[in-house]
A and B are shown apart, each in its own frame.
Chain A
Amino acid sequence: MKRIKQQVETYLNTTEECKLLAELILQKETKAKVLLCLVANRRSPHEMALILFEKAKEEYDTAIRIMSFRLLKKDDFGLKIVSELQFDLFFKENTALFSFESTSVSTMWSVINALTNAVKVVNTHVAPNQEDTDFDFDTYTWAEFYTKYTEPDQNLEKETSKAEQRMMISDNDKKQDQTSDFRTSVAIKEDWIAKQLQNKEDQFTEKRPLTFVIGTWNVNSKIPNHLVSSWLRINEDEAADVYAVGLQEIDMTAGALLTQETKISDQWTKIITDTVNSCTSHKYVCLLSKQLVGIYLIVFIKEEHLEHVQDLKSHIEGVGIMGMLGNKGAITCQFKLYSSTVCLVTSHLAAHTGGTSKRNQNFADLSQRCHIDDDESIDFIFWFGDLNYRLTLSDADTRQAICDNQISHLLAHDQLVIEKKNNRVFVGYEEGTITFMPSYKFDAGTNIYDTSEKKRTPSYTDRILWKDVHKVGGIQQLYYSMHNTFMISDHKPIVSCFKVPIKIIVQDKYKQLYRELIKMLDKLENDMLPEIQLSTQMLQFDTVEYNSPKVCEMTLENTGQVVCEFIFVPKPGEDYPHKPWIKIEPIGGIIMPHESMVIKVTLKVDSHMAHQLMDQPDLDDILILHLKQGRDHFITVTGKYQVSVYGIALDQQVPECLWRLVDWLYRYGIKEADLFQEAGITEQVHQIRRQLDHHLPFDDNVSVHSVAEAFVGFLESLYDPLIPHRYYRMSIETSSNAGACVHLITKLPKAHFDTFHYVMAFLREVLKHSNENHSSIDTLAIIFSRVILRPPLNYPQLQANSNDLRAKALFVKHFMTQSHHWTREELVQE
Chain B
Amino acid sequence: MSGAHEYIFKYIIIGDMGVGKSCLLHQFTDQKFMTDCPHTIGVEFGTRVIEIANKHIKLQIWDTAGQERFRAVTRSYYRGAAGALMVYDITRRQTFHHLASWLTDARNLTNPHTIIMLIGNKLDLAEQREVSFEEASRFAQENGLIYMETSAKTGENVERSFIETATKIYQNIESGVLDPNSVESGIQVTTTLIEPAREQQQSGCSC
Contact = CB atoms under 8 A, between A and B. Distances in A.
B190 A183 contact: yes
A486 to B, nearest CB: 24
B202 A194 contact: no
B191 A130 contact: yes
B101 interface: no
B188 interface: yes
Given A522-B47, A625-B42, A633-B41, A182 B188 contact: yes
B41 A310 contact: no
A312 B204 contact: yes
Interface in B36-53: 41-49, 51
Given A289-B207, A636-B69, A631 B80 contact: no
A630 B202 CA distance: 45
Interface string A169-183: 100110110010011
Contact of A187 (B41, B65, B193, B203): B193
B181 A311 contact: no
Contact of B204 (A168, A309, A518, A633): A309
A632 interface: yes
B73 A310 contact: no
Contact of B46 (A197, A505, A519, A526): A526
Contacts of A529: 45-46
A518 B192 CA distance: 13
A186 B6 contact: yes
B9 to A, nearest CB: 13
Contact of B202 (A289, A306, A511): A306
B193 A191 contact: yes
B104 interface: no
Nearest to B39: A537
A434 interface: no
Contact of A310 (B30, B80, B201): B201
B206 A511 contact: no
The listed residue with most A CB atoms (<10 A of its CB), out of B45, B70, B181, is B45
Interface stretch (A11-19, A22-30, A156-164, A280-288): A280-288
B56 interface: yes
A634 to B, nearest CB: 5
Contacts of B1: 310-311
Interface residue tally on B, bucketed by range: 35 or more
Given A312-B204, A510-B197, A572-B76, A631 B43 contact: yes
A182 B190 contact: yes
Contacts of A287: 204-205
The listed residue with most B CB atoms (<10 A of its CB), out of A197, A286, A335, A622, is A622
Interface in A278-327: 285-289, 301, 306-312
Contacts of A311: 1, 203
B206 A190 contact: no
Nearest to A305: B204
Contacts of B51: 515
B182 interface: yes
A521 interface: yes
Given A289-B207, A522-B47, A169 B193 contact: no
Contacts of B200: 307-310, 338
A176 B188 contact: yes
B207 A286 contact: yes
B111 interface: no
A193 interface: yes
Contact of B196 (A129, A131, A510): A510
A634 B204 contact: no
A131 B189 CA distance: 12
A514 interface: yes
Given A193-B194, A286-B207, A507-B197, A309 B45 contact: no
A582 to B, nearest CB: 15
B202 A269 contact: no
A506 to B, nearest CB: 10
Contact of B42 (A187, A514, A631): A631
A830 interface: no
A168 B179 CA distance: 13
A288 B6 CA distance: 35
B203 A312 contact: yes
A172 B3 CA distance: 22
Contacts of A511: 196
Given A301-B204, A522-B49, A624-B73, A632 B42 contact: yes
Nearest to B193: A190
B167 interface: no
Contacts of B199: 507
Interface in A565-581: 571-573
Contacts of A172: 181-183
Contacts of A521: 49
A525 interface: yes
Q: List 7 tightest A-B contacts by C-beta distance, closest first.
A: A572-B76, A633-B42, A286-B207, A190-B193, A631-B45, A632-B43, A307-B202
11 contacts: A172-B183, A186-B192, A193-B194, A197-B194, A286-B207, A339-B197, A507-B199, A526-B46, A571-B76, A632-B43, A633-B42
Given A182-B8, A310-B201, 6 more contacts: A190-B193, A193-B194, A194-B193, A289-B207, A529-B46, A632-B43
Interface of B: 1, 3, 6, 8, 29-30, 41-49, 51, 56, 65, 69-70, 72-73, 76, 80, 181-183, 188-194, 196-197, 199-207
Interface of A: 129-131, 168-169, 172-173, 175-176, 179, 182-183, 186-187, 190-191, 193-194, 197, 269, 273, 285-289, 301, 306-312, 335, 338-339, 505, 507, 510-511, 514-515, 518-519, 521-523, 525-526, 529, 537, 571-573, 622, 624-625, 630-636
